[in-house]
Each structure stands twice: as structure tokens, then as C-alpha cells.
């Protein structure tokens, strides 16, 4: 009788655990199926030889052939772009990324205020987080970056300590996994001057001290008389076709206390210092 009671109790725990797992996973069962179906479709495209849709139009078919090389790999990301969600919770952002429609936005990771991290897209796949933007000569950041959304409304919330701690852990893993240069950890506002401001009021200096992004020195030297601020911004990576917007994006990242679209003498010192680091 005692053994029966013990077995019953154990069985209850097992069944309860199973039900808990089932309940926590079934909530997104429909969208998980969409993810898997799309991933399978992409895998079929990659596995098909010759690659479908990659014919050289205008060239005689007899002059085209396919021979599969043996030395190749999966494309790897070279940038990390940080965002704030501009929404009220991680769950709201998850639901936004599960909606198919006109926007069809997504990111690879979401870092919650409580430090919990949700991955939503495989690192090797292209997420729709960067939009129209440019950094240096790269005009398709979606194809070369990992997007990380930080749960923050972008209005009156500070980034929490536990959130930054989890973010730093994630960035350390990504940096080592893909050998991403320190200078290539940037914000959405950096690649989309005048269009985006996120992540707003973000502690970039804290990240830079850990090796994620660059920051200026405590002691700054005067730039030479012939210092070209527009050229310096472009060398760092900013799209200077709209110079005031580029200045504003630079100050959102590196100044923050003043985000006007004009460079003050103090801003010039910061810009010159960073310019030498990015060269």
C-alpha cells in the first residue's frame, strides 16, 4: 500500500511536469510550425543543385555549368545591432514578431527587463530588424547582422541592471562564436540617421568597457585645424548624405546629454578621438 502511494505520487509529478511543458509549448505551436516549414523550404533551396533561380540570364546555357565545391560554410553575421522594443513587455514584442503582414518585423533575440532572453530566429538566418539603413558601405544590414531587441518602451524606462548583465553575456557568446569586431556592435539609430533613435539613452560606455562597441578616451586631444568632421563621421560608418541627421545619430550614441544636430567644440573633441580609433 505504501509503495502504491509512492508510485501514485511520483506518477502525479511526472504527469504534472508533462502537462506543464505541454502548456508552455502549445501556446506558440501554430507559429512554430510556420517557422519550421519556412526553414525546411530554405534548406531545400540550399540543398538543390544547381541552385534554383541563380542562372545567369543573358548568357548562353551551354556556357554555364555547375560543379559543387567542397570548401564552403554557412554565412556568419559580422554585426550586432541593438534596439529598444518601444513596447510594454517581452510578450507583446514576441506577439509582434509572430504577426504576418505588411511590416513582418523580427529580431534574433529579445532581452527582457528581468534578464530573460528569448531567441526567435536562428543566427544563420536573416531577421527583419534593421530596415532601410547603411553603415559604411553596407546597405543591407539585415543580411550581415544579428538583431537584439531590449524590452524598453523608449520613453520613460531605464535599462535594468539584470537586463544589461544578460545582454553582456549574450554579446560575449556572439562575439566569440562569430569573431565579431568590437567596432561592429552598434545601434539602430547609428545605421538609420534621422529615422530611428533606438536604443535611446543606452549605456554604450558600459558595453564598450567590455569590448562591445568603441568609446572615447577620458583625456581628449584637440583635432588638427584641417579636421573634416563630415569625413570623420563617414569613416566611422555613418551615412552622411544627410549630414545633420548623421550628426544627430552620432550624438545619440556618444553624447546623449545633447542630441542637437550641430557639433559643438566638445563634440568635435569626441568625434576626433573616435575617428582615430575607427581608422
> What are the extents of the domains in the chain?
2-63, 76-201, 216-279
Task: Look at residue 27 and tell me whether its pLDDT is greater than 80.
Answer: yes
C-alpha cell at 46: 540550399
- Average pLDDT of 265-272? 98
Cβ atoms of residues 240 and 227 within 8 Å: no
Q: Over pLDDT 90: what percentage of the chain?
A: 86
Q: 109-111 and 117-119 as β-strands: parallel, antiparallel, unpaired? A: antiparallel
Closest CA to 140 of 149, 130, 127: 130
Going by pLDDT thresholds of 50, 70 and 90, the confidence category of residue 25 is low
Kind and range of the H or E run holding 117: strand 117-119
**Whose grid coordinates read 517581452?**
90
pLDDT at residue number 100: 87
Q: Which pLDDT score is estimated for 8?
A: 43
Task: Report the catalytic residues.
Answer: 149
Confidence of residue 235 (pLDDT cuts 50, 70, 90): very high
pLDDT surpasses 60 at 54: yes
Q: Is 82 exposed, middle or buried (0-12, 13-18, 19+ CB in 10 A)?
A: buried
CA distances 162 to 25, 116, 121, 252, Å, are: 25, 9, 23, 23
Cα separation, 121 vs 60, in Å, equals 39
Chain segment 66-120, per-residue pLDDT in tens: 999 999 999 899 999 999 999 999 999 999 999 988 778 999 999 999 999 999 9
Residue 81: closest CA among 101, 103, 106: 106
Classify domain 76-201 at the CATH topology level.
Lysozyme-like (3.40.80)
Amino acid at each position: 500500500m505504501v509503495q502504491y502511494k509512492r508510485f501514485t505520487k511520483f506518477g502525479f509529478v511526472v504527469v504534472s511536469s508533462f502537462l506543464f511543458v505541454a502548456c508552455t509549448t502549445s501556446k506558440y505551436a501554430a507559429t512554430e510550425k510556420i517557422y519550421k516549414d519556412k526553414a525546411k523550404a530554405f534548406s531545400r533551396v540550399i540543398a538543390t543543385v544547381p541552385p534554383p533561380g541563380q542562372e545567369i540570364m543573358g548568357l548562353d546555357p551551354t556556357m554555364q555549368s555547375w560543379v559543387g565545391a567542397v570548401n564552403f560554410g554557412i554565412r556568419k553575421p559580422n554585426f550586432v545591432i541593438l534596439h529598444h522594443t518601444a513596447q510594454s513587455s517581452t510578450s507583446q514584442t514576441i506577439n509582434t514578431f509572430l504577426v504576418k503582414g505588411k511590416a513582418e518585423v523580427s529580431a534574433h533575440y529579445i532581452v527582457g527587463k528581468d534578464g530573460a532572453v528569448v531567441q526567435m530566429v536562428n543566427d544563420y538566418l536573416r531577421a527583419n530588424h534593421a530596415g532601410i539603413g547603411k553603415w559604411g558601405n553596407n546597405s543591407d544590414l539585415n543580411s550581415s547582422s544579428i538583431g537584439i531587441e531590449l524590452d524598453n518602451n523608449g520613453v520613460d524606462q531605464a535599462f535594468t541592471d539584470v537586463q544589461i548583465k544578460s545582454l553582456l553575456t549574450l554579446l560575449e557568446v556572439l562575439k566569440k562564436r562569430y569573431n565579431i569586431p568590437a567596432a561592429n556592435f552598434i545601434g539602430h539609430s547609428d545605421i538609420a540617421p534621422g529615422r530611428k533613435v533606438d536604443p535611446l539613452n543606452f549605456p554604450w560606455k558600459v558595453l564598450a568597457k567590455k569590448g562591445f562597441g568603441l568609446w572615447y578616451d577620458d583625456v581628449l586631444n584637440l583635432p588638427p585645424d584641417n579636421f573634416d568632421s563630415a569625413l570623420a563621421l563617414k569613416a566611422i560608418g555613418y551615412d552622411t548624405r544627410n549630414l545633420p541627421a548623421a550628426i544627430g545619430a552620432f550624438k545619440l550614441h556618444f553624447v546623449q546629454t545633447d542630441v542637437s544636430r550641430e557639433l559643438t567644440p566638445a563634440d568635435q573633441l569626441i568625434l576626433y578621438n573616435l575617428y582615430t580609433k575607427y581608422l
